[in-house]
């Protein structure tokens, strides 16, 4: 169990309590949250590139919280 995974899940729970009351709203929130929580890099053309392996690692950490 990691602090990062626990904080991620807390943010999701908080969002659900504050109005993410449909699957669409909750999934959109989760995707936005994940994109801000995973490692990213700036490419040569100034585009932000997310680390797909890090996003998978975060998903695995969350899955193993219990």
Domains identified in the chain, total number: 1
Give all strands (DSSP E) within 7-64, no chain letters: 40-42, 48-50
4-51 tens-digit pLDDT: 999 999 999 999 999 999 999 999 999 999 989 999 999 999 999 999
Residue 46 region, left (φ>0) first, then alpha (ψ -120 to 50), else beta? left
Find the domain containing 58 and state its range: 3-63
Is there a contact between 38 and 54 (Cβ–Cβ < 8 Å)? yes
Cα gap 21→14, rounded to integer Å: 11
Cα gap 37→31, rounded to integer Å: 10
Q: 37 pairs with which residues across the strands?
A: none
Label residue 64 by pLDDT band (50, 70, 90): confident
């Amino acid at each position: 169990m990691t602090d990062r995974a626990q904080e991620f899940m807390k943010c999701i729970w908080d969002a659900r309590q504050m109005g993410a009351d449909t699957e669409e709203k909750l999934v959109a929130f989760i995707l936005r949250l994940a994109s801000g929580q995973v490692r990213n890099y700036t490419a040569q053309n100034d585009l932000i590139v997310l680390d797909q392996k890090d996003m998978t690692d975060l998903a695995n950490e969350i899955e193993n919280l219990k």
